[in-house]
Structure 1
Amino acid sequence: MSKITNPSILAFERKIDPSYGLFSAGVWAEREKSFGWPAVEVKEKSVRGTFSNRVSSKEADPLKLKQKIDKPNPQTVDYAALPADADTLATTFTVRILPGAGLPSSCNEQAYYQKLVAAVGDYKATYGFKEIARRYAANLANGRFLWRNRMGSEQIEIKVDQLVNGKPAQGWTFDGYEHEPGTFPTGGKVAELGELIAAGLTGEQHVLLQVTAYVQMGYGQEVYPSQEMVLERSSGDKSKTLFAVEHRGRKVAAFHPQKIGNAIRTIDDWHASADEVGAIPVEVYGAVTSYGAAYRPPKEKQDFYSLIDNWMLKDVEPTAEQKHYIFAVLIRGGVFGGGD
């Protein structure tokens, strides 16, 4: 048998595909009627800030520094808030669970492809993607995808419905505070939802989920959609730009699909620093940009490339946890070939 080599072209399509998360507002007691709630709009405001930048020793001239401190710092920023007569934020999005988990969409090395397909078949027969899917379900149930909006809220309720022909076929309702993010319960409604997600990943059935989260925050409270990363700003530009979806002439506050997807795939507590930092998003090097750290650096040989190369090229069988991590990366999707 010829030696197996890394393909120069190796790509995987993502299998967890969320939509935008649209914001609307209403009253907690009327959340069953949230379909008609008004959208939360992104608006602009001008604020008079103060100078607060860190200064270097070269800039610490007392006279110049005093002039900077005394001078006001006007800014224009985006903001989004609940209306004065609404105390609850509703965030709604859909998630498609696509079949073919673990199988490449492109691979130009036939021997590698055949070995990978065999590994996918063995994993599917042994684990059925249930461990990974249960963790996705937990992150839907605990409202991790709400990010900052989750913090300090009085009550959180998450409704997850399976849509068939556009109508709910079955559904689950979760208390967002019943389980903390980073914990993955093994039974109850979370396990039921996980079974459905696993069935979608294996292709046993079509799975489309609609998720609506209700967060009781307080009348008129500010809410936090995704923030746009503006690479180039000119003088006078807004200093904060929030993400909004144009709908019927209004700028509706929303989450990016990537932000929702990042929260759903925050399931990797199989890394070496899990006792310290808990679950992190599934990434090839365990990178968490908000911490400025990579928890699966190549030198430790626990990154995705090291593990899959050992498995495919050197016949080093991964542990069960390593397999869960590898397949979670493949479900995330990406281009992993050896070409430049």
Structure 2
Amino acid sequence: MERCDNLSYTRSLSPGKAYFYRLSEKGEMLPINVEQTRILGQNSDFQKGYKPDYSPKPTSAKDFGYGNPQFIEACYVPVGADDIYCRFSLRLQANTLKPNACSNDSVRQVLETLSKQYSKSGGFNELAERYAKNLLMGTWLWRNRDFRNVEIEVKCGDDSVLSVKRAHRLEWDEKWPKEAQSALKALTGYISKGLSDKSDSYYMDISAKISVGWGDELYPSQEFLDEKVEGKPTKQLAKTFLSEGQQTASFHSQKIGAAIQSIDDWWAPDADVAIRINEYGAHREYGTSRRHPSTQQDFYALLKDADLWLERLSDADKIPDEVHYLLAVMAKGGLFSNGQTKTKG
């Protein structure tokens, strides 16, 4: 297939910012405060004692006995709160059905036909089930998933309400209890419609009820700081405002989206983890790429053969994993231009 110098897709899943809160005895939303604190850390990092070649630095034993003062922000469960809530909204749009921009008509026709055939073959059900799993498992809570109990509730735009108890016990590859499996099936159907139907609006509100202990540490998003500013914490946490103007801890929408899109276990036949959808299969936790160009399993290598994948999709009983991955990247959205005039792939 030809490449074009202008190709982009608009994302199909648009999560909002997530906010933490607790409820008063009257059911009023109360903030989860972020506090500033000074701590005395340890001098224990590698560079303190060693050079890059592992030769010891000229230090004394006393150098490691001193503390490392730090000024940071932290977030803790208030005394008296047995449950903490975290909530966000999610919009679905069928933006994989055609590119947002494409400067080559033949490429556009191939990609639109590929998406239509994928939908006809039930492919969006596979993507939808994977997104639904991450929503119902509470993957988007990140470290806040590891508490005493987590209950997830999803209110869909069709007025249906789905709930899962003990969501923190659910695993990606294991069989789910009957109640959770029923919720997964229903949510999969709703998300699948949202990914393939442009005639209606699809949205949902997702909330987690987290059972906690007083004083437990919570883990909102951390702000990225370009440089240290004197008098300001070197670690700052994300915050937003409740309806009454009270500041509360929050998650960035990008962090929520990253969790929802952690569905790529197609990167290897024996893949042991579902990584975030990325053009090169970036696996940040391991500092590597699961779809390096040398594998020819990256998005761009597979995209240039989109016309061949269309033929295989039309003839095959089972959708190839490569096609699932291609459509998942399109659903993620992005600019996929090659920056050059079109060439034969």
TM-score, scaled relative to structure 2: 0.86
Matches within 5 A, 1:41-60: 41-54=33-46, 55-57=49-51, 60=57
**When the two structures are aligned, how many residues end up with a matched partner?**
324
Name the amino acid aligned to 1:49: G
* Corresponding residue for residue 179 of structure 1: 170
Name the amino acid aligned to 1:98: Q
- Match among 257, 260, 265 for residue 261 of structure 1: 257
* Corresponding residue for residue 325 of structure 1: 325
| SS of residue matched to 2:160 | strand
CA distance in 1, matches of 2:332, 2:8: 11
CA distance in 1, matches of 2:31, 2:231: 29
- Match among 117, 121, 126 for residue 121 of structure 2: 126
RMSD: 2.4
Name the amino acid aligned to 1:293: T
* Corresponding residue for residue 242 of structure 1: 237
1:25 Cα offset (Å): 2.4
1:182–1:217 CA distance, 2 compared to 1 (3 A): farther
Identity %: 30
What do the CA deviations read for 1:174-212 (whole angstroms, capped 9, x no partner)? Answer: 120352145586952201111001111112532110001
| SS of residue matched to 2:154 | strand
Matched, 1:14 2:11: yes
1:142–1:334 CA distance, 2 compared to 1 (3 A): same
Matched, 1:158 2:152: yes
Matched, 1:293 2:288: yes
C-alpha contact 1:12 1:102 (8 A) present in aligned 2: no
Matches within 5 A, 1:1-340: 4-26=1-23, 36-54=28-46, 55-57=49-51, 60-63=57-60, 66=62, 68-127=63-122, 129-151=124-146, 153-163=147-157, 169-175=159-165, 176-181=167-172, 187-203=181-197, 205-234=200-229, 237-247=232-242, 248-272=244-268, 274-275=270-271, 277-312=272-307, 317=312, 320-339=320-339
CA distance in 1, matches of 2:269, 2:236: 34
C-alpha contact 1:85 1:220 (8 A) present in aligned 2: no
What do the CA deviations read for 1:304-326 (whole angstroms, capped 9, x no partner)? Answer: 11111122379773652211111
Moved over 6 A (4+): 313-316
Deviates further, 214-223 or 89-98: 214-223
Name the amino acid aligned to 2:162: W
Name the amino acid aligned to 1:19: G
1:182–1:266 CA distance, 2 compared to 1 (3 A): farther
TM-score, scaled relative to structure 1: 0.87
1:16–1:182 CA distance, 2 compared to 1 (3 A): farther
CA distance in 2, matches of 1:141, 1:81: 24
CA distance in 2, matches of 1:117, 1:321: 19
1:39–1:183 CA distance, 2 compared to 1 (3 A): farther
C-alpha contact 2:220 2:251 (8 A) present in aligned 1: yes
Structure 1 residue ranges without an equivalent (≥5): none
Structure 2 residue ranges without an equivalent (≥5): 314-318, 341-345
What do the CA deviations read for 1:228-252 (whole angstroms, capped 9, x no partner)? Answer: 1212224554231111114555431
Deviates further, 169-178 or 252-261: 169-178
